Each structure stands twice: as structure tokens, then as C-alpha cells.
Structure 1
């Protein structure tokens, strides 16, 4: 009897998919970023469509390929960099630019890998390049030296993020600082005296304070190069 009643009971209707016309490009990008937060490998057109309750075909109305979608996502992210109005100190402005760029990378860790493979995803990549080159020009740094300096700042930020990303990925399961401090404490003092003398600092590698120190050293080098042009 139970089996007969179960058979007679109608199956629940699946959630209806939204039509193409009810989906906007902005909504697609918001959904795509939500999916990408689980890791860039999780990003597919189908996963984004599922997040929105729509058919994958609805996405192709705006983005012909996944690469087109990723380009638009990266352009959206780069547009969030806080490009502040210039002050009367170009070196302070350059440091602020670098810090703002790093902040956006830290807020969107999924974007790091595709930024390497999508070198010019949209107009905002050019906007931030123009902003940095304009700051350097105020300091008398132009041409090849300006390009090298700009690339060096980007490399510092990408490298800094990659350096600390593996540590941050373990948070929630282990305390990475405590684990590193424990490992350093096991080292023989007669062989690694310098390392042990900065064990506390090494246990917090990649911190905001250490970034500020490293960036300050880069800025002093840029300043020295500008003075000796």
C-alpha cells in the first residue's frame, strides 16, 4: 500500500529555468565571482548558470566563450583598484598605488592565475597602467625605465601574494604561524643562529607590516633612480 501511494504521489516540479531575456551581464558577472570564490577551477559556464537558476545558453548571449567571461570578470576586478587623486608627492602616490593594487589582489585570490594568462583583459588594465606611468613621469622616470619600474611593482605584489597564499590556505585547519614557529624551534642553534634570531618575524611572513617594509625599500630604490637619471 505504501509503495502504491508513493507511486501515485506526483514528483516535485524542478525549479523552472530563467529565460535569456531575464538575465543581465552584470548578474552573470556577480554569479561568476561567487562561483570563482570556491577556486578558479570551479568556474564553468554551467556552474555560473546553475548559480543563477538559468540555462547555460543564457550566458552565451553576452559571453561567447568562457575566456570572454573571464576577461570581463578580471576587468571588473581591476576596476576596483582605488586610484586616488594625485598629491604633491609622486613617491607617496606610487606607494599608494602599489598598496591599492595589492589590496585588490588579496580580496580576489581567484583572479591571480587568470591575470597571468589574460594579460590584457579589458580597459581597466590599461587604466591602471596609465595611472602608474603618469605617477612615474612626475618623478622623471619614463620610457623603458618606467615600464621596468611598473612591472617590478606588479611582480612584487603578485609574488608577495603567491608567497603567503599557501600559508593562508591552511587557515581553519591549522595555525600556520604556530606550526612554523614550532618547526623553527626545533632547529639547532649552533647551525642556524641567524634564522632563530628572527624566528618570530619568520613565523609571520607575508604580513602587512612586512609588505610595508619591502615596499618602502622598493620606493627608496625608485627614488634613488629618479635622482640619478
Structure 2
């Protein structure tokens, strides 16, 4: 029987040395390079293991993705709910957006599958509990919660997609008259466009949304 070289022994990871959390750690590292790169084989390579070893924990790539997304949602920082309910709702929205921007690779798959596991439910429960304090319930509460989540997903995906491309610069060029003189109103906002997707722009839009939400409260009490 031929001897196994020490180099080969070191490069081969024992199957029983894998753990659920260890696989998720490696999965996040792979996904951070681009979600399209996430495969069972890529994660196995990151772990210096074989794909078959990972199938003991995740039968499909879909199961691995769900576990990763559920893990991300579990990191949501639930806001303090003391003080005016509308301010608690603002903190909820900001914290949700922060979670997405901290995990840009997860934005698109979460849009496609917003409920990958049990960690999704406490997020919605928090928002609905805050809205209940403003006497916003039922369909109205679902509409407000959906609106905040849609704003955050849309804003975050837009910013992340543009951050690595020349899209923003192209718009700025038009605004400065370098690409075309045919857009005078765009030219007038050349300076604001330099802060495209900024935190203050987000805060301004969120403020306007929350003004409408507060006005919809039957008691008009914050």
C-alpha cells in the first residue's frame, strides 16, 4: 500500500472536522466576493474539503443560501422602542438599511426570498409592534412595513450596484454639460448628484415617508 505523503495529508480536511457554523463562515467569505460565486464546490474549496462532505449538512445550494440569509437576518439590531413610536420606527428603518449595506451580497437574494428562515419573523414583529403603538394595524401596518422594507431594499441595491460602475459618473457628466447640453434641469443639480445615494438623501426621503405614516395614525399621537 503506497504511503500518503505528509503534504497530501495536510491538504485533506477530515470530514468530521467540519461544523455547521464553520461552513457558514466559509460561505460568507465566498459570497462576499460576489453572490454568483457561491456554490457548494466553492465553499468546499475555501474549507479545503470535498463537496460531498458539505452535503452532509446542506443537501442543496438553496439550503446553504437560506442558512446564510437567515444568519444575516439574525444580526438585525432591534431598535430601542422607548420614546415616541415614530422615532422608534425611524430607528427600525435605519437599522434595517444598515444591515443590508453591511451585507451587500445578500441584498438580491433577500429580495427574492425575504423569509429564508426563522430570523425573518422577529424583524417584522418589531415593526408591527411599533406601528401598533401608533394605532396603525392590519392592512395599514402591512403597507407601512412593506413600504419601509421596499425603500431600503431598493435604495441599497441601487447604491451598491452603482458604486462599482461608471453610472454615477455618467450622470454627473451630463449634469455638468460634458455629455449633452439638452438637460438643463439635470444641470442644475450637478452638485447634489455628487452626493448620489448619500446618507442625508436617504434621511430626507425617510423623513418624508414617516411624516405620511404619522399623519395616518388614527390618534395622531406620536
Q: TM-score normalised to the size of structure 2?
A: 0.89
For the residue of structure 2 that corresponds to 1:137, the secondary structure is: helix
Match for 1:82 among 77, 80, 102? 77
Give a deviation string over 1:9-59, Cα, whole Å, max 9, x none.
Answer: xx9944532122111111100100000011111000010011011111221
Say whether the 8 Å CA contact 2:175–2:189 is kept in structure 1.
no
Match for 2:22 among 6, 10, 27? 27
For the residue of structure 1 that corresponds to 2:119, the secondary structure is: helix
Say whether the 8 Å CA contact 1:180–1:203 is kept in structure 2.
no
Unaligned runs of 5+ in 1: 1-10
Tell me the equivalent position of 1:197: 188
Moved more, 156-165 or 210-219: 156-165
Alpha-carbon offset, residue 178 of structure 1 = 5.2
Match for 2:131 among 136, 143, 165? 136
Q: Which runs of 4+ in 1 moved over 4 A?
A: 176-179
Say whether the 8 Å CA contact 2:100–2:107 is kept in structure 1.
yes
How many residues are aligned here?
Answer: 213
| 1:60 partnered with 2:55 | yes
Note closer, same or farther for the CA distance 1:26–1:13 as it changes in structure 2 (3 Å cut): same
For the residue of structure 2 that corresponds to 1:29, the secondary structure is: helix
For the residue of structure 2 that corresponds to 1:123, the secondary structure is: coil
| 1:215 partnered with 2:206 | yes
Unaligned runs of 5+ in 2: none
Q: For 2:219 and 2:79, locate their aligned partners in 1 and report how far apart those are by CA, in whole Å.
A: 28
Q: Which of structures 1 and 2 has the bigger CA Rg?
A: 1
Tell me the equivalent position of 1:113: 108
| 1:155 partnered with 2:146 | no
Tell me the equivalent position of 1:96: 91
| 1:39 partnered with 2:34 | yes
Q: For 1:160 and 1:147, locate their aligned partners in 2 and report how far apart those are by CA, in whole Å.
A: 20
Give a deviation string over 1:53-108, Cα, whole Å, max 9, x none.
Answer: 11112212221211111111001101111102311211111111111111111111
Alpha-carbon offset, residue 179 of structure 1 = 5.0
Structural RMSD (CA):
2.0
